[in-house]
Amino acid sequence: MAPHSPRRWRRAAKAVTIALALVVSGSTGYAAHAADYERLVNGTFSGGSADPWWNGAGTSGRVTDGEFCTAVTGGTTNPWDALIGQNGVPFEAGQSYTFAFDARATTPQRVSAVAGEGVAPYRQIAKQDFDVTAASQRFTYTFTSTLDFPDAGSGQVTFHLGGQSFDNTVCVDNVSLIGGVVPPGGAPGTPTKKIQVNQVGYLPDLPKHATLVSDSTTPVAWTLRDSSGATAATGQSRPQGADAASGDSTHVIDFSSFTTAGTGYTLAVGDEESFPFDITADPYAKLRRDSLAFYYHQRSGTPIEARYVGDTYARPAGHVNVAPNQGDDAVPCRADLNCGYTLDVRGGWYDAGDHGKYVVNGGISAWQVLDTYERAVAFGDADALGDGTLAIPERANGVPDVLDEARWEVEFLLKMQAPSGLVHHKIHDANWTGLPTLPDQDPQPRRLSAVSTAATLNMAAVAAQSARIWKTIDPAFAAKNLAAAKKAYAAAKANPNLIADPNDGTGGGSYSDATVSDEFYWAAAELFTTTGADAYRADVTGSPHFRGASLNTRGFDWGSTGPLGDITLAVVPNGLPRADVAAIRSAFTTTADAHLAQIATQGYPAPYRTTDGSYDWGSNGLVANNAVVLALANDFTGDAKYREGVYETMGYLLGRNPTGYSYVTGYGDQPVRNVHHRHWANQLEPSLPTAPPGVLSGGPNSALQDPIAARLLQGCKPQKCFVDHIEAYSLNEVTVNWNSALAWVANWAAEKSGGGSGCEVSYRSTKWASGQTASIEVRNSGDEAWDGWTLGFGFPGGQKITNGWSATWRQEGAEVTGTSLSWNGKLAPGASTHLGFVASAGAGDADPATFRINGKVCSTG
């Protein structure tokens, strides 16, 4: 996670004429008229944090006893050579403002209180000098603004603390700026449309829903228009009523009965019209690649080459000891840790919008990218993730590209292991860098934070997973991973309470997690699945998280990893009894049912519920992970309702939400553009790009945990607590773990779309206590005749075929193939054939969910 970074105020070339009225008193109290608007955020520092106040070069600050105290290095020439300040302050030309604050200094000195512009040309609105002494005093002055700056714009207040020959400490408190007539934040941003749709597209054969904002209590007429504007369909909306998460009065527009593929459709109600969208069999074919391509962009320690990403996104390698970088090849611990060694931690993925690399967030991200592959092997189409499917340097090496990309992070995680077997929590800059800063231009020293139990278990889990995946691909790498995983797990068991310092947030996010029982469960599940060892089995079955106990309607993330262990135990063959596997899968379907029940009542379909109805930091990542739960419920049962729920959720992320944004960059007519990122920083520096397509924004956050959000969104409803602003880091940052959730779901959705596959499979089973009979229809839904075919699928519950008909049946483990016979191999377009088998019963008796003909995933009917 990356916090807001300062745009340093610089002295204006010309002074601006201002009206000043100066008052200095010994009182520390202050009062404001009830109708006056406070324009500064966190001026009392009562929460113990200085955010969003920043420190400039040559200063360091912290909140002590309710004051913001800044150490200032002496020897500077000008007052503006040492600054503290706050950005995004609104000003209205012609309006009066009163700037007031308490201040004291260890050694008396002159301090300037300044209002002005935080970016070039750095125009000054007002400046007044004050003589600050060791005793705290109240200082106030009034001025009339000559410039206009909106909330979260380029306005700024600063204190100039430089120009002194001596070191000093200056403390401020109760800092206030009152004035102006526009309410703080103005009117919250409203969507440009009253009809919200999935701006990417809908599948022809699945439900198609849109949301209309209307106060009408009765149905209203809607029209579906094609790209020429002609009417394609009409109907009546269904009033949904007041929607708690958005505050909107909503209707649902259901146009599911319209199935004609096409581009550029719109929905209209009166004069209101939606963004355009497609109806297509493969709406997510590109997103499955773009969401994974994100990780190559985030690589550390290697140049990002134009031949893979294009000239716009190419950049030099970051953190490789090329000035001004200080490199990641011999990184020491923080000075206060005295660990006595350095580590070579080159490589890995930059975590988010900053240049930090975090094991606890990298762990779930690498695991989920790898699980995208493991799940496809078990239930889907692993060929779609094969070699040559991504634009990365390792393509054409004979290894699936998704594994090559994940390996870049896995190798970094292994490097973070200390000699003790424990793993360092994170590595990042000693201090925060500003926006924009490209990785190769980062001048900050790099430091290792302390080892932690959570980081150690994250690495153990991912390394154990990697050991089984690479067992036949690269046995030496697999063995290295398994040895590291075993060593880490043993070290974690010996040190179960090493909790990351929640205050270790300078230069990088803290990622502190006080509860690690879920990480123990996850790591044990991975080690048991890979090794089958009894000791790991005992830790799995003895965990309070066993059998899906930690699945809930909020969802899983880096701080709640128990469900990751459940997914592995439910998907990857292991030594658990069938009843235990069935119980875990049942927990997924139970949670998925709760998600579907919630979606049915919402104006905007987001499977996500907290105890108080709020939306958390990274809510979009949680929504995407809840779509993973829905997808797995479909894999485990074959029930179409869960498949439909996944596509409804994708609709929310891609525009069917109350902000009107597609939260995925480059997708839809109104995608987010200004994500919080240090080199996709076009909003601040026009020569830099916006994010590439396929990057998921963090999304609504009710807590408004950055100054932009706090200024603009006070009183917002949970789903509307969002603004597309680069410095709204608690809303609009991007991270490796949110994109891993998007990539997992996008790949599942693309696979399950069946677009362009040219095949359709209908599967019906009749079950009894000890067995079942399956009847299957295979249809050629393409445009070309088949001359022979092979049906493939995986049994989800350990079933075994005993005999079959109308195909040559083979089974290896869970994988089943049925190959055509001489009399039914030739199928003309539109033709079908019937086949079947008898099989033993399996755990939970779930039917296969994904079917392939000649390696391509088919639609199901």
* Spatial distance between the Cα atoms of 127 and 785, rounded to a whole number of angstroms: 80
CB within 8 A of 163, min separation 6: which ones? 76, 77, 78, 79, 81, 82, 110
The yes-or-no answer on residue 354 being catalytic is yes
Query: Alpha-carbon dihedral of residues 750, 795, 741, 485, nearest 10 degrees?
Result: -140
Residue whose C-alpha is closest to residue 735's, from 707, 695, 701: 695
8 Å CB contact between 463 and 481: yes
User: Cα–Cα distance between 531 and 616 in angstroms, integer?
Assistant: 37
What is the β-pairing status of strands 21-25 and 272-273?
unpaired
Of the chain, the end-to-end C-alpha distance in Å amounts to 44
Spatial distance between the Cα atoms of 656 and 606, rounded to a whole number of angstroms: 9
Residue keyed to tokens 């088949």: 786
The full 3-state SS of 726-743, as one line of letters, equals CCCHHHHECCHHHHHHHH
Q: How many residues does the chain have?
A: 861
- The answer to whether 55 and 70 have CB atoms below 8 angstroms apart is yes
Choice among 102, 442, 519, 733 that is catalytic? 733
Q: Cα–Cα distance between 528 and 465 in angstroms, integer? A: 10
Active site residue 847: no
Find all residues with CB under 8 Å of 579, minimum gap 6, and list them. 843
CA dihedral defined by 205, 207, 211, 215, rounded to 10 degrees? 130
Q: How far is CA 662 from the centre of its chain?
A: 14
- Measure Cα distances from 571 to 2, 529, 724 in Å: 34, 10, 37
Tell me the residue type at 28: T
> In what helix (H) or strand (E) does residue 252 lie, and over which residues does it extend?
strand 249-254
For residue 320, what is the DSSP state?
S
Q: What is the secondary structure of 587-616 as a DSSP string?
A: HHHHHHHHHHHHHHH-SS------TTS---
C-alpha distance from residue 196 to each of 667, 696, 846 (Å): 14, 19, 36
Check 724, 751, 760, 847 and give the catalytic one. Answer: 724
Closest by alpha carbon to 738, among 200, 304, 389, 291? 291
Question: DSSP assignment of 321-335, as one string?
Answer: S-TT---SSSEEBPT
Q: Which residue type, as a one-letter code, is found at position 278? A: D
Beta carbons of 617 and 705 less than 8 angstroms apart: yes
Catalytic residue among 160, 425, 545, 676: 676
Of 710, 658, 712, nearest in space to 190 by CA? 658
676 is annotated as an active-site residue: yes
Query: What are the angstrom distances between the C-alpha of 741 and each of 361, 447, 626?
Result: 12, 29, 9
- Cα Dmax for the chain: 101
From residue 740, how far is each of 39, 292, 368, 706, 721 by CA, in Å? 38, 8, 6, 24, 23
Task: State how far the alpha carbon of 454 is from the alpha carbons of 288, 511, 513, 559, in Å.
Answer: 30, 10, 7, 9
Tokens of 505: 């947030």
Rounded to whole angstroms, the Cα distance separating 737 from 558 reads: 8
In this structure, what token pair is assigned to residue 592?
């998925």
Residue recorded with tokens 């849109």:
210
Considering the candidates 92, 354, 519, 706, report the single residue annotated as catalytic.
354
> What strands, in cross-sheet order, belong to the sheet with 54-55?
54-55, 83-87, 155-160, 109-117, 124-132
Handedness of CA 841, 847, 853, 855 (dihedral sign): negative
Residue 375 DSSP code: H
- Provide the Cα torsion 658, 660, 665, 670; round to 10°: 180
Catalytic amino acids? 354, 676, 724, 733
